[in-house]
Chains A and B, each alone.
Chain A
Amino acid sequence: MTYFLQQALNALQLGSIYALIALGYTMVYGILTMINFAHGDLFMVGAFFCFLAATVLKLPFVPTLLISMAGVALLGVTIERLAYKPLRQAPRVSAIITALGVGIFLENFTLALNPYPQHIPTLIANTTFTLGGVSISSLQIIIVVLSIALMILLDLIVRRTMVGMAMRAISWDKTVVPLMGVPLNLVISMTFAIGTSLGGAAGVMYGLAYPVIDPYMGIIIGWKAFISAVVGGIGNIRGAMIGGFILGAVEIMVAAFFPSTYRDFVAFTLLLILLIFRPYGILGKPRPQKV
């Protein structure tokens, strides 16, 4: 039982990181109906910004987090302006390929500047508590609490502010909303900024939890977060959160109770089965095609 609870904590930690990244995917998809495949690599860049801030600028945790989030947000908005904006009217597949290309560019640019995996110094004092046989580290608590705080903040922004209302409106009908006086490009840029900054925050937390970072770590995590966004129902913010936690839970539990080499196999088979029975994701709504 304690083993199960221990693994449940690990699942919470991993799940919250996946959920934060999945939120970035879902927000961009909700607005632009485009999958930003470079998001996983933006997560990786966030981790590297954290490394730079911690080692070169020698800042403590909170400024590092803020700088990484701001830096990734800036990068995300730049990418959107340069690479995605010209393709808003183009066929969807070219936007996807462009996103893949941007992702590969980010990976290899980071690799070119920085060929060795780096180690992030400890920014949070990592004390371990024991509660009923389960050992909880303060780092885990901070990661989970911070992620949930960020998600609640996002939910508030989307549901209670004008910008959020504009985002939701654009996801319903992109052509009419600019006619109503909403600055389309500005709202899209803000969506990218918010979504990618969440990915950057996830990068910082991942870097603190698993301190060795390398330029290619964003690929697999990015695709897994994409799957969790789809499982939750892509375009749906709450769905992305749920999907992230589900995938984290499935992965950790499979690794805990089965031989760990079967982890990917079982996790993806379960996801496939879920998608077969609920093809639009858990909270997704089927988009009926009008003939």
Chain B
Amino acid sequence: MARRWILPVLLAVGFLLSFAIPQFGLLDLYVQLIIMYVGINIILTTSLNLINGYMGEFSVGHAGFMAVGAYVASILTVSVFPSNLAAWLFPVAIVLGGVAAGLVGLVVAFPSFKTRGDYLAIVTLAFLMIVKSVIENIDAVGGPRGFLGMEKLTTLPWVFFWTVLSVWVIRNLVYSNFGRGVFSIREDEIASDLMSVNTQQVKVIAFVTSSFFAGVAGGLFAHVLQFINPRVFDIIKSTDILIMVYLGGIGSLAGSILGGTIYTVLLEVLRPLGVWRMVLMPLVLVLLMIYRPRGIMGLREFRWFVPVRDLLASQLWRQAKQKEVGDASSAS
């Protein structure tokens, strides 16, 4: 416990590095781009993990929230904000993109009250197709031709900031009383309803938070790619995010970070294999699922993310368990 100051120090160092790297060109531009993609994927993975991992639902529509955030943020920086102020108002654009995505998440939360499992997958999938279809029909944002003109406003410091913020917010959410409600819904929804957990409120807040951060990631993504079209945000993208979540480990923030990082980096590292990389990657995934069905980290969590109170509680529980076993063996 005494070493808990390491994490804030690491974060501060990371923040400084994120400024230093582009400034002094410490890393190749390509590597910087990959790091930015890793950050965006981490935000996507942790936000989806809140719904799929911690709450145990099966939402397939995450790319739809990303699309809403991407388009709203892009429209703001390109058409609404005066162009000389665009760089300063970038965080506002991202936040508004996230808010728009959150509002859409609010709409998706309501069907989730009655449906679970496969039916919720259908509902979220249908919603994803609807979002994509709506964007394709709005000619003002380019429809199927896509939307461009964004400046490259996403920089390493911004990505770092938003990644840290999203992990921090979700971590705090998960280890609060609200978070216990989320766990209980995953374990047994009916029982938690009986135990006075307001499942509807919990679901709504979880969906809105998750979609907010997905929208944020979408906004960042749009401003690093500088071109977005509805085809980018289709079921394949949603599948990618799902894979990252389950690869890293459901119900584990460290797992999400790990899953997002490994997936993105592995895809880049295997690029020399050409088209065979996408043949190898799913094989690796299938093998992983067979031998480690809960993902790399499973439900375990990185010790520094867990609040001290929870760590102490699990330690006490483990000691009580050992004592129980010791008593039983000495009695027999």
Contacting pair A264 B132 (CB below 8 A): yes
Interface residues of A in 270-291 (CB under 8 A from B): 271-272, 275-276, 279-280, 289, 291
> CA of A78 to CA of B296 in the docked complex: distance in angstroms?
26
**How close is B170's CB to chain A, nearest CB, in angstroms?**
19
- Bound complex: CA of A268 vs CA of B132, how far in Å? 11
Contact A108:B275 (CB < 8 A) given known A101-B282, A101-B286, A272-B127? yes
Q: Is B250 a contact of A93 with CB atoms below 8 Å?
A: yes
B115 neighbours in A (Cβ, 8 Å): 275, 279
- The reply to whether B293 and A227 contact each other, CB–CB distance below 8 Å, is no
Binary per-residue interface labels of chain B (46-83) against chain A in the complex, 1 for a CB within 8 Å, 0 otherwise: 00000010000010000000000000000000000000
Give the nearest-CB partner of B127 in chain A.
Answer: A272
The interface bits of chain B over 230-250 (1 if a CB of A lies within 8 angstroms of the residue's CB, else 0) are 000001100100110010001
Set of chain A residues within 8 Å of B250, measured between Cβ atoms: 93
> Are A227 and B285 in touch, CB under 8 angstroms?
no
From B118-126, B157-165, B206-214, B300-308, the one touching the partner chain is B118-126
A91-B293, A94-B294, A98-B290 known; A264 vs B122 contact (CB < 8 Å): no
Q: How far apart are the CA atoms of A98 and B144 in the complex, in Å? A: 32
Contact flag A105-B293 (CB < 8 Å), given A97-B242, A115-B275, A227-B122: no
Contact B283 A97 (CB under 8 A): no
User: Is the CB of A219 closer than 8 A to any CB of chain B?
Assistant: yes
Contact with B along A138-174 (1 / 0, CB 8 A): 0000000000000000000000000000000000000
Contact B125 A100, beta carbon cutoff 8 Å: no
**B190 contacts A268, CB within 8 Å?**
no
State which residues 242-291 of A face B: CB under 8 Å: 261-265, 268-269, 271-272, 275-276, 279-280, 289, 291
A87 at interface, CB cutoff 8 A: yes
Q: Which of A97, A107, A261, A271 contacts B126 (CB 8 A)?
A: A271
Is the pair A279, B243 in contact by a Cβ cutoff of 8 Å? no
B127 engages A291 (CB within 8 Å):
no
Taking a contact as CB atoms under 8 Å apart, the answer to whether A265 and B137 are in contact is yes
B111 proximal to A (CB < 8 A): yes
A177 at the interface (CB under 8 A from B): no
Considering only residues 85-125 of chain B, those with a C-beta below 8 Å from chain A are 111, 114-115, 117-119, 121-123, 125
A111 contacts partner chain B, Cβ-Cβ < 8 Å: yes
**Interface: B169 (CB within 8 A):** no
A-side contacts of B311, CB under 8 Å: none
Contact (Cβ within 8 A) B126 A268: yes
Distance from A41 Cβ to chain B, minimum over Cβ atoms (Å): 11
In the complex the two chains form, is A291's CB within 8 Å of B130's CB? Answer: no
**Roughly how many angstroms separate A81 CA and B236 CA in the complex, as a whole number?**
26
Q: Which residue of B lies closest to A89 (CB)?
A: B293
Knowing A98-B286, A115-B275, A276-B111, say if A104 contacts B133 (CB, 8 Å).
no
Identify the closest chain A residue to B111 (Cβ): A276
Separation of A246 and B295 alpha carbons in the complex (Å): 38
One of A35, A97, A104 near B246 (C-beta < 8 A): A97
**Chain B residue with the shortest CB-CB distance to A90:** B293
Q: Are A102 and B282 in contact (CB under 8 A)?
A: yes
The 8 closest A-B pairs by CB, nearest first: A265-B133, A94-B293, A108-B278, A90-B293, A101-B282, A105-B282, A101-B285, A104-B282
22 inter-chain pairs at a CB distance below 8 angstroms, sorted by A residue, are: A35-B121, A83-B290, A91-B293, A96-B58, A97-B289, A98-B290, A101-B283, A102-B286, A227-B125, A227-B126, A261-B144, A265-B129, A265-B133, A265-B137, A268-B133, A269-B126, A272-B127, A275-B122, A275-B126, A276-B114, A279-B115, A291-B194
Residues of B within 8 A of A (CB): 52, 58, 111, 114-115, 117-119, 121-123, 125-127, 129-130, 132-134, 136-137, 143-144, 190-191, 194, 235-236, 239, 242-243, 246, 250, 275-276, 278-279, 281-283, 285-286, 289-290, 293-294
16 more contacts with CB within 8 A, not counting A97-B289, A261-B137, A275-B122, are A35-B118, A91-B293, A94-B293, A96-B58, A97-B243, A98-B286, A105-B286, A108-B282, A112-B276, A264-B133, A268-B126, A271-B122, A272-B123, A275-B115, A275-B119, A289-B190
Query: A residues engaging B (CB < 8 A)?
Result: 29, 35, 83, 86-87, 90-98, 100-105, 107-109, 111-112, 115, 219-220, 223, 226-227, 230, 234, 261-265, 268-269, 271-272, 275-276, 279-280, 289, 291
